């Protein structure tokens, strides 16, 4: 009897998409959750429980109390790392938005063939191994790397630019990694755009520039905001790229946590640092839900 199962799936999707849609009845609701149970169980085991363990550890290791948090907040290093983390995440997000918007405009107005080709290229880069891509950037950005040598050969600079082991290198590497995420989160609002709407704007007298600011940008705003938040939050916790392309002088939070665990074996302090990061992330999410609703914040 396939019918009840099919209904249950549809209800589950309905509640997932619409956020808090009231269930029609207790029976419907119970059945509706069944398909989501495996995924929820996985999340519980692999995310909720470790987070809880981490929280407990930060509160109990080595003694019960808030001493880990006190130790963390007492060190200047922590504040420097936190500031640097926010600086990097903010810069990466801003640059990604600045690059992503014109790209989205292109995808919206270009002939379908070119739009699909460019979209494909952008998303394809995501399928290459992250570590490999980061090492590739190391090769490119070194003072003896391709970019610097080309710049010198062209006579644009006389000495190699410091493109690696600093914020520039981290930003370049991370923007490159984040851009596909931005394009993906703009995909839905882009698909919902109607070309005729832009034609209407043009006939109303709007130049391309005005159409961009007054029509395109507002319509894309929810997708842009959710994309930016996702990228900012991902950037806050990034590890590989900052540790390979950034220098030791501008450490990010994930690097600090790794150091605390691996070199200093201070699990409690590391837990406290991780937990502060999680708290910051959740409050950012809350802000976005307030501004754009669950759908906007969830990227839809």
Would you state the structure tokens that stand for residue 180, as one six-digit string? 């596909």
CA distance 170 to 69: 28
The residue count for binding another protein (CB under 8 A) is 17
* 200 lies in the site for another protein, by CB under 8 A: yes
Choice from 203, 248, 262, 263 touching another protein (CB under 8 A): 203
Rg (CA), the chain: 23
Which of 80, 149, 130, 151 has the alpha carbon at shortest distance from 245?
130
CB of 300 to another protein, least distance (A): 16
- The DSSP 8-state label assigned to residue 288 in this structure reads H
Length reported for the chain: 300
Residue 115 within binding range of another protein, rule CB under 8 A: no
194 lines the binding site for another protein (CB under 8 A): yes
Backbone phi, psi, residue 158, to 5°: -95, -35
Q: Please tell me the distance from the alpha carbon of residue 228 to that of residue 93, in angstroms, as a whole number.
A: 6
Q: Is 204 in the site for another protein (CB under 8 A)?
A: yes
Our finding on whether 110 is near another protein (CB under 8 A) is: no
Q: CA distances (Å), 212 to each of 44, 96, 103, 178, 199, in order?
A: 43, 18, 12, 23, 12
Buried b / exposed e over 194-207, threshold 16 CB at 10 Å, is: eeeebeebeeeebe
Residue closer to another protein, measured from CB, 127 or 209: 209
Shortest Å, Cβ 117 to another protein: 20
Instruction: Give the binding range for another protein (CB under 8 A) out of 55-63, 165-173, 212-220, 265-273.
Output: 212-220
In the list 60, 102, 199, 282, the residue contacting another protein (rule: CB under 8 A) is 199
Place of tokens 């790794």: 258
Provide the token pair at 260. 């605390």
Pick one of 10, 49, 214, 282: the residue that binds another protein (CB under 8 A): 214
Tokens for 270, please give them: 């590391």
Task: Kindly identify the residues of this chain, within the stretch 219-278, that bind another protein according to CB under 8 A.
Answer: 219
Nearer to another protein, 98 or 200 (CB): 200
Q: Give the interface segment with another protein, choosing from 129-137, 139-147, 199-207, 236-244 (CB under 8 A).
A: 199-207
Assess 90 for contact with another protein (CB under 8 A).
Answer: no
CB environment 47-69: b (16+ within 10 A), e (fewer):
eeeeeeebeebbbebeeeeebbb
**Residue 254 C-beta-side C-alpha neighbours within 13 Å:** 16
Could you say whether residue 196 binds another protein (CB under 8 A)? Answer: yes
- Sole binder of another protein in the list 71, 136, 206, 298 (CB under 8 A): 206
Interaction of residue 210 with another protein, rule CB under 8 A:
yes
16, 50, 218, 293: which one contacts another protein (CB under 8 A)?
A: 218
| Residue whose tokens read 């405009």 | 105
215 binds another protein (CB under 8 A): yes
Of 13, 77, 128, 207, the one binding another protein (CB under 8 A) is 207
Q: Least distance to another protein from the beta carbon of 181, Å?
A: 24
Q: How far is the CB of 39 from another protein (least distance, A)?
A: 33
Binding site for another protein (CB under 8 A): 194, 196-197, 199-207, 210, 214-215, 218-219
């Amino acid at each position: 009897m396939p019918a009840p199962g099919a209904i249950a799936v549809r209800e589950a999707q309905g509640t997932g998409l619409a956020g808090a849609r009231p269930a029609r009845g207790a029976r419907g609701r119970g059945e509706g959750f069944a398909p989501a149970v495996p995924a929820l169980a996985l999340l519980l085991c692999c995310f909720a429980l470790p987070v809880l363990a981490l929280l407990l550890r930060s509160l109990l290791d080595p003694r019960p109390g808030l001493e880990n948090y006190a130790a963390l907040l007492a060190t200047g290093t922590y504040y420097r790392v936190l500031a640097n983390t926010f600086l990097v995440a903010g810069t990466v997000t801003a640059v990604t938005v600045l690059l992503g918007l014109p790209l989205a405009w292109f995808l919206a107005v270009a002939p379908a063939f070119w739009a699909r080709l460019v979209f494909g290229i952008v998303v394809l880069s995501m399928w290459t191994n992250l570590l490999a891509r980061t090492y590739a950037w190391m090769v490119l950005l070194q003072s003896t790397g391709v970019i610097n040598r080309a710049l010198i050969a062209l006579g644009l600079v006389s000495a190699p630019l410091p493109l690696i082991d600093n914020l520039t290198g981290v930003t370049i590497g991370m923007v490159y990694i984040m851009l596909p995420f931005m394009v993906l989160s703009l995909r839905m609002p882009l698909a919902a755009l109607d070309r005729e709407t832009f034609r209407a704007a043009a006939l109303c007298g709007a130049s391309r520039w005005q159409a961009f600011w007054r029509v395109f940008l507002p319509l894309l705003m929810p997708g842009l905001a959710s994309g930016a938040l996702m990228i900012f939050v991902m950037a806050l916790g990034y590890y590989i790229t900052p540790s390979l392309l950034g220098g030791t002088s501008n450490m990010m939070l994930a690097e600090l946590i790794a150091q605390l665990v691996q070199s200093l074996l201070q699990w409690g302090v590391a837990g406290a640092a991780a937990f502060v990061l999680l708290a910051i992330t959740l409050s950012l999410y809350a802000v976005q839900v307030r501004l754009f609703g669950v759908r906007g914040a969830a990227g839809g």
